[in-house]
Amino acid sequence: MIPIKNKEGIAGMREACRVAATVLAKMRALAAPGISTYDLDQEAKKIIEGYGARSACYNYRTSRGQRPYPAYTCISVNEEVVHGIGSIKRILRPGDIVSLDVVVEFNGWIGDNATTVRIAPVDSSVDRLLQVTEAALYHGIEHAKVGNRIGDISHAIQTYVEGHGFSVVRDMVGHGVGRSMHEEPQIPNFGRKGTGEKIRPGMTLAIEPMVNMGTHRIETLADGWTIVTADGKPSAHFEHTVLTTETGPEILTIPPA
């Protein structure tokens, strides 16, 4: 069953997502040549705590056997797809791209969003990868309409990405989000129109295309978390938490004006 949020849940999600978006915007502004990904993560921790929120990533694990996630945000550079762990040894350099993923809990509700930042100047093909991934996110969001099905979102993302010569990661998916980080439904970035569960009002969905320049295949590093492309080529990631309403999808992870 896909959780449907009532008025109170929607209000809680709005606030959590606003905090998540504000933290991501501030973190993005700190991503510049010379900073280590460890320092970037530490700054994000301070910003999150400054809002009275908590990182939902820290200590997170999907299974009992898994090593708890040791950082506060996910910072993934170049061929790292998602779930990169900040390191004092990884210094951002011109030409890098860095995916920042911020998931916060605020008053018991969770907001999830991600973006990929260019450390200028980047190669034009890499720039294109980011443009296409971000546009794919918005295409997916457009299809998160009441009466559609989850597969309509998946299909929109996949056809857009593959139409531009890139590939979608298959082994990681978007998801419902609410009281916990991962709720039903799963939202793959590939799939067929008219399949999957029906979209109803009051769903909060984290839509998150992960797009690779080369092969869609991925590997996990020995740290147990960091996902990298199997061919070492770059990967990009953009994510919003979206509320489905009778009048269309509403992006919740937008900072206040």
Binding status of residue 210 toward Co ion by CB under 5 A: no
Q: Which is nearer to ligand MF3, 5 or 83 (CB)?
A: 83
Choice between 127 and 134, CB closer to ligand MF3: 134
- Integer-rounded Cα Rg, in Å, for the chain is 17
d(CA 160, CA 167): 10
Planar angle of CA 252, 3, 186, nearest 5 degrees? 80
Residue 69 binds to ligand MF3 (criterion: CB under 6 A): yes
Residue 60 interacts with ligand MF3 (CB under 6 A): yes or no: yes
One-letter amino acid for residue 148 of the chain: N
Q: Which of 112, 160, 176, 213 binds Co ion (CB under 5 A)?
A: 112
Candidate residues 44, 97, 100, 103; the one interacting with ligand MF3 per rule CB under 6 A: 103
State yes or no: residue 21 binds Co ion (CB under 5 A).
Answer: no
Q: Report the site for Co ion in 227-246 (rule: CB under 5 A).
A: none
- Mapped onto helix, strand or coil, the DSSP state of residue 115 is strand
60 contact, one of ligand MF3, Co ion, none, CB 5-8 Å limit per kind: ligand MF3
Is residue 242 within the footprint of ligand MF3 (CB under 6 A)? no
Q: Are 161 and 189 in contact (CB under 8 A)?
A: yes
Give how far Cα 240 sits from Cα of 9, 114, 125, Å.
17, 7, 24
Looking at the Cβ atoms of 127 and 219, the one nearer to ligand MF3 is 219
Shortest CB 159 distance to ligand MF3, Å: 23
Rule CB under 5 A: is residue 206 a binding residue for Co ion?
yes
Look up residue 224 and give its two tokens.
Answer: 């147990």
CB of 175 to ligand MF3, least distance (A): 6
183 contributes a contact to Co ion by CB under 5 A:
no
By the 8 A CB rule, do 35 and 90 touch? no
**Identified binder of ligand MF3 from the candidate list 41, 79, 96, 101, rule CB under 6 A:** 101
Backbone phi, then psi, for 188, in 5-degree steps? -65, 155
Whether cis (ω within 30° of 0) applies to the bond prior to 256 is no
* Sign of the alpha-carbon torsion through 226, 255, 187, 154: negative
> Could you tell me which of 22, 49, 24, 6 has the C-alpha nearest to residue 238?
24
Of residues 202 and 209, the one with the C-beta less far from ligand MF3? 209
| Residues contributing to the site for Co ion (CB under 5 A) | 112, 206
Residues in touch with ligand MF3 (CB under 6 A): 57, 60, 69, 74, 83, 101, 103, 112, 114, 175
